[in-house]
A and B are shown apart, each in its own frame.
Chain A
Amino acid sequence: KAGVTQTPRYLIKTRGQQVTLSCSPISGHRSVSWYQQTPGQGLQFLFEYFSETQRNKGNFPGRFSGRQFSNSRSEMNVSTLELGDSALYLCASNSGAAGNTIYFGEGSWLTVV
């Protein structure tokens, strides 16, 4: 069974632009969560979606948003990009039941210049 798939894998954006990242969860998984990974801040939770509804939200500004579609695929958007948004953005999925294994995608490497 295919794993968590993220696109694009690498991208470069300019300050002030916006970016949309996509995530396809493992087939049958209904929960999708997003994490930001940077050398300085480590792995930080952005938000989680379950059945098209945001179930949890981390401490990120409103420039970070997401959504989930009826097929469980998810997108996250970052508007008005800042240099500090340069990071690896990881998507993770699981069945939706709390405490079940969470599987990560390979991530999208975002560089803001």
Chain B
Amino acid sequence: GENVEQHPSTLSVQEGDSAVIKCTYSDSASNYFPWYKQELGKRPQLIIDIRSNVGEKKDQRIAVTLNKTAKHFSLHITETQPEDSAVYFCAASKGNAGNMLTFGGGTRLMVKP
């Protein structure tokens, strides 16, 4: 089955700096890659997603890039703010296999003011 690896597991940055989280996946049939942000004690919330027919997607300070050949995708957060502190999860799924997400292990992002 699919395997998603996520790095780093923890990331500490200064407010205003950029943060990059990387994920690799194993199943070349995966074609949908969402990113979720989970604050302590709360639900995972989708922050951005990308489909395999697109190489990059941006939404204000957040961007995701996808390299299908290398089977990896990355989350980029620019101008980080303390409220960006949370655990971020990447995930992958195969479009023709329903809605089963395989998650990476998560990255705890700490933004220091």
Contact = CB atoms under 8 A, between A and B. Distances in A.
Contact of B97 (A42, A43, A98): A98
Given A43-B44, A90-B44, A103-B46, A98 B105 contact: no
A75 interface: no
Contact of B101 (A55, A100, A102, A106): A102
B interface residue count range (under 10 / 10 to 19 / 20 to 34 / 35 or more): 20 to 34
A interface residue count range (under 10 / 10 to 19 / 20 to 34 / 35 or more): 20 to 34
Contacts of B102: 45
A106 B105 contact: no
Given A99-B95, A102-B34, A45 B45 contact: no
Interface string B97-108: 111111111100
Nearest to B102: A45
Interface of B: 1, 31-32, 34, 36, 42-46, 49, 51, 89, 91, 93-106
